[in-house]
A and B are shown apart, each in its own frame.
Chain A
């Protein structure tokens, strides 16, 4: 029923009324382009979140100290000072689902180089930290266990801190002053970008936790413990094992609350990923509505076209066109309109997504699946909204149609 010459006939009919065909297609073009752009934005966000998951480190758990309660006033997370380096070692030693652990002591400090100064976060830890966080070095290397034991004045710079303090110069071997103490720069980390929470992970200086505890802060507890599970699927088990170990070590009674909390950051990330999926869906459905409106435009124009071409339909029937051939002809016309509009819309959408990426610095991702979907959807729009007008055309009476003025 739909052969080459039907297609040619449809193209000719559409070409005969270029202005109208163009305007009809515009509805589809805008609809499809909107779907492509919106899905690209949503997918881009999801992709960015997935990158962040990977950047956080493999199978990461973070243990924070619990809240202290004094006279009914609850302080925030981390106000307890019960976590120690012994806990860190015990976790690595006694929890089978844990691959590695590292202490974390946090502070902020003004760092001063030869020519610049920069306020940044200080992170005190052990060399395991870089492995747990899955964080490679751009230049130099980590400080060693000897440095930790010796409370050495040695540091590793995050990429942002390195750039702010030393510009394009390689700082390895140079000196940074932190709280008036000179620190030798052992290495610079690769940039990691934003955390799931939106902070710049590279704006940091990492030093041995012993140095930060004793020489800078004068404390003996930890602010956090970084734990890496054996595998992604073991993070929950690792979390349970760490919980029972720490409860035991901190002598917490059955009826007492934990004096720590464990955050599974990949959970946070999965939630963020799920959120962005929902966003993609939402954006796509909003854009889908405009495609639907475009489809209604096709139907409207096809109905007008059927009325306007009543006499043509009568003539075709008089020379022997079958009802289903008339129907096929109008259906092909609307599908061709929709597909042509869809193809142009895909190109416009790709261009639009690129423009948004370039101008708004928003990550966009155009997947072949979304293109295929948009194409299939516009074909479906052509068929669905073309069917009624085509059917109407095919059911006209030849004699009445021939008389139609």
Chain B
């Protein structure tokens, strides 16, 4: 494993003000994540997982504490500079897929490159290659509404990868998927981690999913409750091989 520290947070806190009451979503999170690590962030609903990952992804900024991404302090950036960080270094995958409707798979994957000022030809080439990598070359011109949840999530992964990010953040990417499809999605992420050395932070509240990661960080009430390596990490590819072959309908 590469010893470069990709994520370094120190006493990260986030307060939300709702009228007179203050919600302490994060209460001092200190964590280092190294290059090529595959981390599962776990915890009950409301424990602050999404808040934490949104800050890691520069969608949000902490109330207190510091956050360094690739050695650069990004906790005090302006909204505009945070957008630039997202564009160049972060790839998001969401539970609800968040694809543009009535927009083809290919165009969805290309979309971030538009904001990165990549020329049209190269956009097309990169998006096509990534669609092929997630096994959807033949669905390039389908709309999200014509695709299954698993297929949509694979498009979302391709979109997250298209800008060659240093960090992939996935907020419950399998939350809306059945167990088999979930393993298929995890298999893609595992491959990215093992073969490409991608740094991945995956939120999940399912033990079953978390066992595919290399390290598990458990949140409770905005604090880290436990941080442990996964001893016997499961291989998604092997799990898939052991499952009975899927029937035709599921494929459609």
Chain A residues proximal to chain B, CB less than 8 Å:
5-6, 9, 12, 16, 311-312, 314-323, 325, 398-399, 402
Contacts and interface: CB of A to CB of B under 8 A. Distances in A.
Contact of B115 (A16, A314, A321, A402): A321
Nearest to B85: A320
Contacts, number: 62
A7 B163 CA distance: 22
Contacts of B102: 16
B86 A319 contact: yes
Contacts of B115: 316, 319-322, 325
Given A318-B98, A320-B163, A321-B83, A9 B59 contact: no
Contacts of A398: 59
Report, as a range, how many residues of chain B touch the other chain: 20 to 34
Contacts of B84: 320, 322
Contacts of A12: 103, 107
A398 B61 CA distance: 12
Q: Which label, helix, strand, loop or mixed, suits the secondary structure of the A interface?
A: helix
Nearest to A15: B102
Contacts of B114: 5-6, 9
A403 to B, nearest CB: 9
Interface in B67-113: 79-80, 83-88, 90, 92, 94, 98-103, 107, 111-112
B240 interface: no
A321 B90 CA distance: 13
A188 to B, nearest CB: 72
Contacts of A311: 98
A41 B239 CA distance: 79
B59 to A, nearest CB: 5
A319 B80 CA distance: 12
7 contacts: A5-B114, A9-B114, A16-B102, A318-B57, A319-B92, A399-B54, A402-B94
B120 interface: yes
Given A5-B114, A322-B83, A322-B115, A315 B100 contact: yes
A290 B58 CA distance: 46
B8 interface: no
Given A16-B102, A323-B79, A316 B111 contact: yes
Contacts of A320: 83-88, 90, 112, 115-116, 163
Nearest to A321: B115
Contacts of B49: none
A317 B84 CA distance: 10
Contacts of B54: 399
B60 interface: yes
A317 B60 CA distance: 12
B80 A322 contact: yes
Nearest to B162: A319
Contact of B86 (A16, A318, A325): A318
A115 B47 CA distance: 110
A361 B114 CA distance: 55
A316 B116 CA distance: 12
B223 interface: no
Contacts of A402: 59, 94, 98
Interface string B35-61: 000000000000000000010010110
A130 B137 CA distance: 87
A16 B13 CA distance: 42
Contacts of B59: 317-318, 398-399, 402
A43 B82 CA distance: 56
A316 B59 CA distance: 12
Which residue among B60, B88, B111, B120 has the maximum number of chain A CB atoms within 10 Å of its CB?
B111
A319 B100 contact: no
Contact of A317 (B83, B99, B100): B83
Given A323-B80, A323-B83, A398-B59, A318 B92 contact: yes
Nearest to B160: A319
Nearest to A3: B117
Nearest to A318: B92
Given A320-B86, A320-B116, A323-B83, 16 more contacts: A5-B120, A6-B114, A12-B103, A311-B98, A315-B98, A317-B86, A318-B92, A319-B163, A320-B83, A320-B84, A320-B85, A321-B87, A322-B84, A323-B79, A399-B60, A402-B98
Interface in B112-126: 112, 114-116, 120
A322 B79 CA distance: 8
Question: What 6 A-B pairs are tightest by C-beta distance, nearest first?
Answer: A320-B87, A319-B112, A320-B86, A321-B115, A16-B102, A322-B83
Given A311-B98, A399-B54, A319 B111 contact: yes
B154 interface: no
A184 B209 CA distance: 116
B159 interface: yes
